[in-house]
Every structure is written in structure tokens, then in C-alpha cells.
Chains A and B, each alone.
Chain A
Amino acid sequence: EAGVAQSPRYKIIEKRQSVAFWCNPISGHATLYWYQQILGQGPKLLIQFQNNGVVDDSQLPKDRFSAERLKGVDSTLKIQPAKLEDSAVYLCASSFQEGHHSYEQYFGPGTRLTVT
């Protein structure tokens, strides 16, 4: 079974530039998550999708971050404009959902973003 795919694996940009990350979840997983993991901290949920709808984006800095999952499969997370404090690993995860029961989240390898 193919895992969660993410690209790029690494990205270096200057502050005020924009950047986009892509995630392709495991086939059949309706729920998709984006996390931000700052060095030395645990991952923090940014946004959660169920199919193409947003379930939770309460921790997403909406003035600069946006995410979409238009066809309910792959997803894109964008930052515009980037700040130094956005330097982190961005993790994508997916899970199978059955009614109100969520199964295990499977994580991708992450995209390491460095903002200079």
C-alpha cells in the first residue's frame, strides 16, 4: 500500500515570498490533515479536511496560510507571504473515516521549509 506522499521534501525561500506544498493521501482516506512542526516541538494541527470540506481550521493563520482540497483527494497548503517564524516541517496525514469513527492517522515524510 502506498503511503502519504508529499512534495517537495525541502524548500528554502526568502521572507515575504510565497510557497506551496502538495500532499497526496492514501487511497480511500477521506480525512486529510496538515500539521506544522517547529523545531523542538510536537506537531500542531493547522487544518483538517473531510473529503473537500473543512472540518477544523481554528489554528490556521488565515491572513497568510490557505489550503484546499478541491476534488477531495490531494491537497495544497500555501503560505503567502512567508515569515521567518514559518520555518518548520509541514506534515500531511490521512485517515479512514467511518461514520463518526476515525481510524489511525498515517503521516507523510514532511516538507522542511526554511525561510531566510
Chain B
Amino acid sequence: AQSVTQLDSHVSVSEGTPVLLRCNYSSSYSPSLFWYVQHPNKGLQLLLKYTSAATLVKGINGFEAEFKKSETSFHLTKPSAHMSDAAEYFCVVSGVNTGFQKLVFGTGTRLLVSP
């Protein structure tokens, strides 16, 4: 079975400082990994995805994540936080269920950005 563990339920940063949201995964084979963002009262939006190509993945809004197989990690980073980055972030692992994509979500990390 596949799973992800988000190591922090809340992360607080000041605007303009770096962001680090941590995620470890467990998978019996080479996984596909994603980060989704959820703003209040809005749908989930895909930030970036890793599908066994380059280990450093760049996403939207300046976010990036690095796949580290030796550490089974897929941490999300951004060099400089913006107030609009305040949201809930989900690390997600994808399995294949009879040929169809099946997403397994972590419990989420709430990012708080202060002025």
C-alpha cells in the first residue's frame, strides 16, 4: 500500500522568507508524487508533479520539490513566501488501480504567512 506522511500540520513563516513543507512517502514501487494546494472555499489545485523524470520538479507560483529516493522524501520549497501562499498544502502519492490513477492524500500542512 502507498502512503504519504506530512511531518508538520502547521508551518508559520514571515513574508519574504523561505518556505519548507515536508513530506515522506511509502511505496512498493517507483511512485508518482504530487503537491496540491487548497485555498479557502476553493478547489484543489495541482502545484507540481513528479513522474520519474527529473528529480527536481518546478511548479507554479515559484514552488519546487525534490524527489529523494534514498530519503523517501518529496519536500516542497519556495525561496520567498508571499501573503497569497497562505493555504492548505497536500502531498499526494499516486498508485495505479486497474489502469486508473488513484490518489492517496496526506493529512495536509497549513501554511500561515505573516506580514
Mark A residues whose CB is within 8 Å of B.
3-4, 31, 40-45, 48, 50, 55-56, 91, 93, 95, 97, 99-100, 102, 104-110
Contacts and interface: CB of A to CB of B under 8 A. Distances in A.
Main secondary structure of the interface of B (DSSP, over half): strand
A109 B79 CA distance: 29
B107 A102 contact: no
Nearest to A4: B43
B102 A45 contact: yes
A42 B105 contact: yes
In this complex, the interface size class of chain B, counting residues with CB under 8 Å from chain A, is 20 to 34
Interface of B: 41-46, 49, 90, 92, 96-103, 105-108
A44 B107 CA distance: 10
Given A40-B107, A42-B106, A97 B100 contact: yes
